Structure 1
């Protein structure tokens, strides 16, 4: 099993410095880079463990604090386990913070993260992969559209509000995306109803984006997050298989995990 080195790092952005978690295979060799956009709960122990798992498979992984303008992660206090009752109270505090992360700010931040990775010795030359969870799935799609020359693969899981009537909806980035896209949707997710899934897939198809969209039966929004009540072990393992399949095929052809 590959040893992993995990460190807390600081990434300069146009609006200050973003704290982030960097996970790399030990040894210092350059590896294909993966940029992870978290859910709204942000960087926390289970997220670091997930980044380590990706790094253990042979990748250099950067997980930035998306709400760095509000201070270091976590920007609100989180319990060790987020049940339905705690979730509501946490989102009352997070909602205005999420609204502050406009598409313009998020895209500027993403550019900073990509530039930082391009200069990192542990990150191999060439395009990167983006992985997004919940709100992070939308950020990944927008980033792929904004930086098509830097992004080769996008994986999004249980994303919400991906194809709305909002003129800033993530699905509108499709015509600018050149990366391969994989999306694993939660079956029981009011934030992404069937009509949005259909609209999103049509946008990707019409734009000629190589993609695969799958609905995970019985899975709830947040099914990959083991520190929440939404966690679904079976769906989570499917997510890992799909993610590594995409990463290996695009970033390390011929590799096995």
Structure 2
């Protein structure tokens, strides 16, 4: 099993430095980079563990605090386990940070994260992969459209509001995406009803984007997050396999040398 080193780092952005977690194999060899966009609960122990797992598979993984303008993560105090009652209370407290992270700011931040990775000795030369969870799935799609020359693959899991009528809906980035896309949708997710899934897949198809969209039966919004009541072990295992499959196709053996 590959040894992993994790470190707390700071990434310069146009609005100050973002705190972030960097995980990579301990051998010091430059590895293909993966940029992770978290859910609204942000950078926390469960997310660091997930980053370590991807690094253990042979990648350099950066997980920024998406709400860095509000201070270091976590920007609100989080319980060890987020049940249904705590979830509502936490979202009420996170609402100002969510409103503050506009599409323009999120895209500018994504560019800063990508530039930082391009300069790091731990990251192999060339494009990176993006993966996003919940709100992070939409951020990943927008970033892929904004920086097509820097992004080779995009994965999104239990994303919400991905194909709305809003003028900045994530699905509208499809014509600018050149990366391969994989999306694992939650079956029981009011934030992504069937009509949005259909609209999203239609946009990707019409744009000629290589993609696969799958609905995980019985899975709720947030099914990959083990520190929440939405966690689904079977769906999480499927997500892990799908993510690594995409990464292995994008960065075949030898890509890290």
TM bucket normalised to smaller: over 0.9
- Structure 2: unaligned runs, 5 residues or longer: none
Structure 2 partner of 1:64: 64
CA distance in 2, matches of 1:97, 1:40: 9
SS of the equivalent of 1:125 reads: coil
Structure 1 partner of 2:243: 243
Structure 1 partner of 2:34: 34
CA distance in 2, matches of 1:119, 1:143: 18
Does the 8 Å CA contact 1:248/1:254 hold for their aligned counterparts? no
SS of the equivalent of 2:145 reads: helix
Structure 1 partner of 2:80: 80
Question: TM-score scaled by structure 2?
Answer: 0.98
CA distance in 2, matches of 1:182, 1:20: 24
CA distance in 2, matches of 1:142, 1:229: 28
CA distance in 2, matches of 1:212, 1:24: 28
Structure 2 partner of 1:220: 220
SS of the equivalent of 1:240 reads: helix
Structure 1 partner of 2:154: 154
CA distance in 2, matches of 1:160, 1:150: 24
Residue 125 of structure 1, CA deviation = 0.2
Structure 1 ranges of 4+ moved more than 6 A: none
Residue 27 of structure 1, CA deviation = 1.8
Instruction: Let me know the Cα RMSD of the aligned residues.
Output: 0.9
CA distance in 1, matches of 2:135, 2:212: 19
Residue 28 of structure 1, CA deviation = 1.1
- Are 1:139 and 2:134 an aligned pair? no
- Structure 1: unaligned runs, 5 residues or longer: none
- Are 1:174 and 2:199 an aligned pair? no
Residue 96 of structure 1, CA deviation = 1.8
Residue 252 of structure 1, CA deviation = 2.3
SS of the equivalent of 1:216 reads: strand
Does the 8 Å CA contact 1:153/1:246 hold for their aligned counterparts? yes
SS of the equivalent of 1:8 reads: strand
Residue 254 of structure 1, CA deviation = 8.1
CA distance in 2, matches of 1:80, 1:120: 32
CA distance in 1, matches of 2:254, 2:210: 19
Question: TM-score scaled by structure 1?
Answer: 0.98
Residue 95 of structure 1, CA deviation = 1.4
Structure 2 partner of 1:51: 51
CA distance in 1, matches of 2:181, 2:123: 21
SS of the equivalent of 2:182 reads: strand
